[in-house]
Chain A
């Protein structure tokens, strides 16, 4: 359903204007389902990403991350449910949505025989809709060119080279510039750092933080959990096509799971909630603990402990914990 505002009811917005300014979310998925024939893509996904959020989307390969992104971009049609971006229905208002979205694909594939500058120009040109005035299109092209110049400089991208001569990392840089040059309000990033060297990854996330501070919503899909951990305010975990957790990243940490390291002799056999138990030598133990604190302390008191460390696990460990829980 296309949301419009009646001129009489809302004086500030003309009739036919989308509720874009009124909605507080950038992305809203309601019961979104996709089957490829009999193959499950995603099932009943509910998710809301607020405006201006830096949102992480985590999951193992085949969990449904790419399917969710394809649905958001209108590349595939949903089997059920609904996807909205800035209040607009992805199925009905795809072009209007895409004019405000920058997408960075995992593969970064381009047309053969083109130079980087031609790809950037093509991308900018495809954003200047044919029904706009020529002066508007020229303005868009000019602002894209300026932004692209700055981004290429920061990412050290040579625009005179042919795309098929570029390494995967450099092709990824081209895709980054294409995704950012039109100053999108929403950035959808699918495994954005694969192929980038650590220095470029740092620069890339610096650019993303700047954009995010300027108001751009960022939807970061990644299986590199440290990227989500260090950059995102909220994250959702998808597994086997379903969202199994969605919360603030710091709250995901505080699901009561601890990483416990012990040097000494402790009998853990009566404890429930011990996972990922690693024994290093006769007297060093390391494990994830998701149970009550009292029995753990009792076990430690009854044992012979020379040294003890108890830390917040990183997101990867939380995720793996969830993953194991989901499988049991």
Chain B
């Protein structure tokens, strides 16, 4: 577990910063809700009548005048995008950074197998994502309690579970990509996260692009669907977890065979 502890120490600052930023934005959003609640009832009608734009963000099925509707749209986007960026960046740099920073010779000239390195780095990625999500979930509940709104436990937990799975999927894919890279990779990770986000918007805009829902993890994080049906779309989740599995398998296969160069 030496490598796991080392990775957690190395990633501590970045994880805390991302947690603080996303948590802060979530809290600000929740604190704004009571003030905006009255106005939202009127604004909600406008939001609900913006055609395909409304559908793209799921506002046709959510009432933004309720805490859970507001949370699903506003906070969902903050956590969705912020969490996706964090997961993608963490995953894509996890293996490649050793070669990028020239530390691969230090690490891999110790009696540690490549499987052990990949496994412990993978666990470190998952632990950091879990930490970020638990902290943000805690911040959200705390903020809701402080503004005096009743907390819709089940819906909030389902939403956060969906975003956690999204981050795991993106991290798994980026972890696989990381095994193929020697330098950087931040652009690839961020690009993948942004692309996944926009693919979901496109899938929501037109039925012709509905197949994209099986490609992007944002599809099973749709607040409108989760809150109206009270469950995750497990078909999409299973497809997403399969993508994650492919990413992880690719990481093991590639990293155990590749030439490691400082």
List the interface of chain A (C-beta within 8 A of B): 36, 70, 73-77, 94-99, 101, 103, 105, 107, 109-113, 122-123, 125-130, 178
Known: A77-B259, A95-B111, A105-B106. 17 other contacts (CB 8 A): A70-B259, A75-B108, A75-B259, A94-B111, A97-B111, A103-B105, A105-B109, A107-B102, A109-B106, A109-B262, A113-B13, A123-B110, A125-B2, A127-B110, A128-B2, A130-B1, A178-B106
- A70 and B260 alpha carbons, distance in the complex (Å): 9
Once the chains bind, are A103 and B109 in contact (CB under 8 Å)? Answer: yes
Q: Which of A97, A109, A123, A128 is most buried by chain B, counting CB atoms within 10 A of its CB?
A: A109
B154 interfacial by beta-carbon distance below 8 Å:
no
Contact A126 B260 (CB under 8 A): no
Alpha-carbon gap, A105 to B110, bound state (A): 12
Q: Collect the chain A residues with CB atoms within 8 Å of residue B104's CB.
A: 75
B contact set with A: CB distance below 8 Å:
1-3, 6, 10, 13, 101-113, 116, 257, 259-262
Contact of B106 with A75 in the complex, beta carbons under 8 Å: no
Give A75 to B10 CA distance when docked, in angstroms: 23
The answer to whether B6 and A122 touch across the interface, beta carbons within 8 angstroms, is yes
Query: Knowing A75-B104, A107-B102, A110-B103 touch, does A36 contact B259 (C-beta < 8 A)?
Result: yes
Q: What's the least CB distance linking A99 to chain B, in Å?
A: 4
Least distance between B212 CB and chain A CB atoms (Å): 37
**Minimum Cβ distance to chain B for residue A87 (Å):** 17
Residue of A75, A105, A128, A178 near B260 (CB, 8 A) is A75
Contact residues in B for A127 (Cβ distance below 8 Å): 110-111
How many A-B residue pairs have C-beta atoms within 8 angstroms? Tell me. 76
B111 touches A110 (CB 8 A): no
> Ordered nearest first, which 10 A-B pairs have the shortest CB separation?
A109-B102, A126-B110, A76-B259, A99-B111, A98-B111, A103-B109, A125-B2, A95-B111, A105-B105, A75-B260
Tell whether A98 pairs with B257 under 8 Å between CB atoms, given A107-B262, A125-B2: no
Interface centre among B104, B108, B111, B261 (most CB of A within 10 A): B111
Contact (A101, B109) CB under 8 Å given A109-B103, A125-B2:
yes
Given contacts A36-B259, A77-B259, A130-B1, contact A110 B110 (CB under 8 A): no
Asked if B110 and A98 make an inter-chain contact with CB atoms under 8 angstroms apart, the answer reads yes
B102 with A73: CB separation less than 8 A: no
* Closest chain A CB from B112 CB (angstroms): 6
Q: Complex formed: what's the CA distance from A122 to B103 in Å?
A: 13
Q: Which residues in A have their C-beta under 8 angstroms from that of B261?
A: 70, 75-76
